[in-house]
């Protein structure tokens, strides 16, 4: 073995030992295995979530229903106004009800893209079959979150949204993420702490989410009480209400 080959072999060994050789697909595969496996995730056709969401001192029950391939409906309350957001597979919408006054509107621009991506990734997240969804994944190496070693994995969706997932270096489960979103027509980075993983139907799902913009990272707290899989849902559940 000549000197160049010896140096190359040492570098390759060092990179592997330190985790530098983790490609995006390596990280995606290990995350999916940690959650229960790609096949189990693909077998989930619908999901119903109930829990509590908190904004500052105020809290509200929340329900989320999702169905493949890209339908979602979210219901919660903000300052006495009942909010319902949905994506019917083609378009997003928002209904606000306060006392007897009801307003329903179609979503557009960044708000429409946001709810569309939520619908597309609600069941399994952005990693499963990411290439088939038109997304791209890139390994960003190792980092730490609150002193905990993590692998950074950036996914750019087919709509152009950047989602950086921070995977625990030992479990490969996501514990933190940064999402580039559009809010009221302006770009914003949402940061989110993810945890309290529990097995449902042989698949691990996070049950606690703390998120907000960088300047207020704990603006909202979402605690999941129950997740039901493969619940029967009619398409009408996701349709925009008629005036």
Q: What is the pLDDT of residues 7-34, one digit of tens each?
A: 444 434 444 444 455 899 999 999 999 9
The CATH number of domain 23-238 is 2.50.20.10: yes
Mean pLDDT of 73-98: 96
Q: State the pLDDT confidence band at 228, using cuts at 50, 70 and 90.
A: very high
What percent of the chain shows pLDDT beyond 70?
91
Q: State the pLDDT confidence band at 2, using cuts at 50, 70 and 90.
A: low
Q: What is the pLDDT of residue 186?
A: 81
Q: What is the pLDDT of residue 100?
A: 85
Q: Given a cut of 50, is residue 177 above it in pLDDT?
A: yes
Q: Given a cut of 80, is residue 74 above it in pLDDT?
A: yes
What are 34-60's pLDDT values in tens digits? 999 999 999 999 999 999 999 988 999
Task: State the Cα–Cα distance between residues 230 and 213, nearest whole angstrom.
Answer: 33
**Can you tell me whether residue 224 is helix, strand or coil?**
strand
How many Cα atoms sit within 13 Å of 194 on the Cβ side? 22
- Where b means 16+ CB within 10 Å and e means fewer, 34-69 reads bbbebebbeebebbbbebebbeeeeebebebbbbbe
């Amino acid at each position: 073995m000549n000197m160049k080959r010896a140096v190359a072999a040492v570098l390759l060994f060092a990179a592997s030992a330190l985790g530098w050789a983790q490609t995006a697909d390596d990280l995606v595969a290990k995350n999916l295995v940690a959650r229960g496996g790609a096949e189990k995730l693909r077998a989930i056709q619908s999901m119903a979530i109930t829990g509590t969401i908190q904004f500052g001192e105020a809290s509200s029950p929340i329900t989320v229903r999702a169905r493949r391939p890209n339908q979602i409906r979210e219901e919660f309350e903000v300052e006495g106004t009942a909010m319902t957001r949905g994506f019917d597979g083609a378009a997003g919408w928002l209904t606000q009800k306060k006392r007897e006054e009801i307003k329903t509107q179609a979503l557009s621009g960044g708000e429409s893209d946001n709810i569309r991506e939520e619908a597309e990734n609600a069941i399994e997240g952005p990693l499963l079959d990411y290439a088939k969804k038109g997304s791209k994944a890139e390994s960003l190496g190792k980092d730490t979150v609150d002193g905990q070693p993590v692998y950074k994995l950036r996914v750019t969706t087919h709509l152009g949204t950047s989602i950086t997932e921070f995977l625990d270096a030992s479990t490969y489960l996501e514990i933190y993420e940064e999402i580039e979103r559009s809010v009221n027509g302006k770009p914003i980075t949402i940061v989110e702490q993810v945890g309290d993983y529990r097995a449902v139907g042989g698949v691990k799902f996070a049950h606690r989410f703390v998120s907000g913009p960088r300047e207020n990272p704990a603006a909202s707290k979402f605690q999941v009480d129950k997740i039901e899989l493969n619940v029967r849902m009619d398409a009408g559940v996701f349709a925009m209400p008629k005036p």
